[in-house]
Amino acid sequence: MSDSILLGQYYPGDSALHRLDPRTKFIGTMVYLICIFMVGGVPGYLLITAALAALIAISKVPVKLVLGGLKPIIFILIITAAFNLFLVPGERLWQWWIFSISREGILQAVRMSLRLVYLVLGSSMMTLTTTPLQLTAAMERIFRPLAALKVPVHEVAMMMSIALRFIPILLEETDKTKKAQMARGADFEGGGLIRKIKSLIPLLVPLFVSAFQRAGDLALAMEARCYHGGRGRTQRKPLKYGKNDAAAFVIIAAFAAACVLCLVKGW
């Protein structure tokens, strides 16, 4: 398993979080992500942090692996923090030329950076403890009522599952291709902006060729197995709620209520 990105990867285990019904984990993740944007004060973020820490502890996924998944978004974090730090108006604390830092800008930069970190880690906890097949089945069951509106629920769920599964594969393929090109003398770091853009051509071309080849192989494999969509298909292991799922829904409801309280109180 690559520790460069967590989204789309599955960490085998037998923890209480692994054994939960995937629908429970999907709904809980959605509630968690919504609550991230609801809270705005210190008590609210402490509640979000405690919930995330509890999930990591229950899942028995190594903390080093979880935190390592933040490496790909470090650049995005820096850009997000910089934009909020220098562009949010308010009580000015420092100024140089056209750049200024305000108290509100610092608070907004910290708030948006934390939200981005929690967004990535919270989503990753679901994929780390849920196989792609389970995730597909969960999304299909949850959004099944939309089929009455002629929405291809099964196909959409399948595409989302395949996309999540291919994220780490494409990143690993990118890393291998980059190292192979560097071994042949390619320079991806030197020169100006134009040269750096041109140096990406020997990286992107084989990557696109590999991606289309994988897509073609997957299509042939699905056709060979007589895949014709979700109509009439059954599941080898039907999804069933258990006692642990009932307890999990109670905890999710309590967590959501606490976040709503933080919103009302302005925490």
| pLDDT the model gives residue 230 | 65
Band (pLDDT 50/70/90 cuts) for residue 183 is confident
Tens digit of pLDDT for each residue in 57-98?
Answer: 999 999 988 888 888 788 889 998 888 888 888 778 877 777
Give dist(CA 52, CA 244) in Å, integer: 19
Domain boundaries, the chain: 1-130+240-267, 132-233
Is 60 exceeded by the pLDDT of residue 2? no
Query: Amino acid identity of 159?
Result: M
| pLDDT the model gives residue 21 | 94
Q: List the structure tokens of 148.
A: 């009455």
Is 80 exceeded by the pLDDT of residue 186? no
Tens digit of pLDDT for each residue in 115-140?
Answer: 999 999 998 899 899 988 888 888 88
Q: What is the mean pLDDT of residues 173-183?
A: 83
Is 70 exceeded by the pLDDT of residue 187? yes
- 43: which residues sit within 8 A by CB, 6+ positions away? 262, 267
Band (pLDDT 50/70/90 cuts) for residue 232 is low
- Kindly compute the dihedral angle of the four CA atoms of residues 27, 29, 32, 37, in this order, to the nearest 10 degrees: -100
| pLDDT the model gives residue 258 | 94
Beta-carbon count within 10 A of 129 CB: 25
Backbone angles phi, psi at 131, to 5 degrees: -70, 155
Q: How does the average pLDDT of the chain come out, rounded?
A: 85
- Partnered with residue 95 across adjacent β-strands are 100
| pLDDT the model gives residue 252 | 96
| pLDDT the model gives residue 57 | 94
| pLDDT the model gives residue 74 | 87
% residues pLDDT > 70 (the chain): 93
| pLDDT the model gives residue 245 | 95
- 1: which residues sit within 8 A by CB, 6+ positions away? 9, 11, 65
Q: What is the mean pLDDT of residues 217-239?
A: 77
